[in-house]
Amino acid sequence: MQLIKDAQFGGERPLFASHDLHLDNVAILAGESAIKECSNIVATNCRFEGNYPFWHVHGFTIEHCYFAVGGRSALWYSDHLRMADTVVDAPKMFREMSDIDMERVRMNDADEVFWRCNRLRIHDLELHGGTYPFMFSTDIYVDGLESDSKYVFQYVRNAEIRHARITTKDAFWEVENVTIYDSELNGEYLGWHSRNLRLVNCHISGEQPLCYAHGLVLENCTFDPSCDRAFEYSTLQADIRGGITNIKNPTSGHITADRIGSVTIDENILPPADCIIEERNRH
């Protein structure tokens, strides 16, 4: 593997079609597509300022690096990436990619990151700002996530998420086969139109959570008092610890809670309209 150390590159495609290359303490300055159509690339202690540096790259490692705002749309149409201990200030990262292994990464403008990606394995990720992270992505494993981005995990399939703290709005819409463990989910309209969404040991806050959900499962979950009009038009099995403020028009299934503030069943409920709703101590 060729080593390039303590160097700078700018302009158009300075390292185009390079292979078996180690960049250490290299700065990619203003320009476009610095490392395009490459393979077996290692970047350590590098700074990326130009647009689109890693497009159509196959097999690469990025460690202890920094992506400045100008390095937008930096990683697209690529595969087999390992990224660690990296800070990203650029938006629109990770598009149409597969086989991403990531740990200890902080993204300070998470606008439209991880779109249409598959086979992601992520540990200790921070997402700040921006909208729609993980849109249309599949086969995701995340352990350790702190996110305040809006509309996270829309249209996601086959995901397992652990130890997350997510503050957002409209999260997990239209997802399928998603399980979330030991997490805190803060925001309005959680999990609408989902299929096979499972929450285990989670705390949920925000208005109108988990409506229009099909095959919803909650195990040992707690709800903030702000959660009203929960489960409207949903089919579910729910084990709720503590209280829930209001349940409205669930379609079918079984809901058990320690305390239920109120239940709204009105003329708008959908058939079969046979959901069992009960307080645990009143069986």
Give residue limits of the domains in the chain. Answer: 2-282
Q: Are 175 and 193 in contact (CB under 8 A)?
A: no
Residue in this structure with the two tokens 């490692």, named with its chain if needed: 61
DSSP for 195-246, written as a single string: EEEEEES-EEESSS-S-S-BSEEEEEEEE-TT--SBTTT-EEEEEEEEEEEE
Residue type, 265: I
DSSP for 95-109, written as a single string: BS-EEEEEEEEEES-
Distances in whole angstroms, Cα of residue 200 to Cα of each of 30, 74, 88: 46, 35, 31
> How many CA atoms lie less than 13 Å away from 18 in the CB half-sphere?
23
Q: Model pTM?
A: 0.94
Distances in whole angstroms, Cα of residue 151 to Cα of each of 174, 191, 262: 11, 10, 29
pLDDT at 282: 62
- Rounded distance, CA 202 to CA 45, Å? 38
pLDDT at 72: 84
Peptide bond into 225 cis (omega under 30): no
Distances in whole angstroms, Cα of residue 36 to Cα of each of 44, 95, 124: 17, 15, 28
CA 283, 219, 115, 150 torsion: positive or negative? positive
CA 170 to chain centre: 12
- Rounded distance, CA 104 to CA 153, Å? 20
pLDDT at 254: 98
Along the 283 residues of the chain, how does pLDDT read in single tens digits? 899 999 999 999 999 999 999 999 999 998 899 999 999 999 999 999 999 999 999 999 999 999 999 888 999 999 999 999 999 999 999 999 999 999 999 999 999 999 999 999 999 999 999 999 999 999 999 999 999 999 999 999 999 999 999 999 899 999 999 999 999 999 899 999 999 999 999 999 999 999 999 999 999 999 999 999 999 999 999 999 999 999 999 999 999 999 999 999 999 999 999 999 999 876 5
Q: Are 114 and 133 in contact (CB under 8 A)?
A: yes
CA 258, 263, 269, 271 torsion: positive or negative? positive
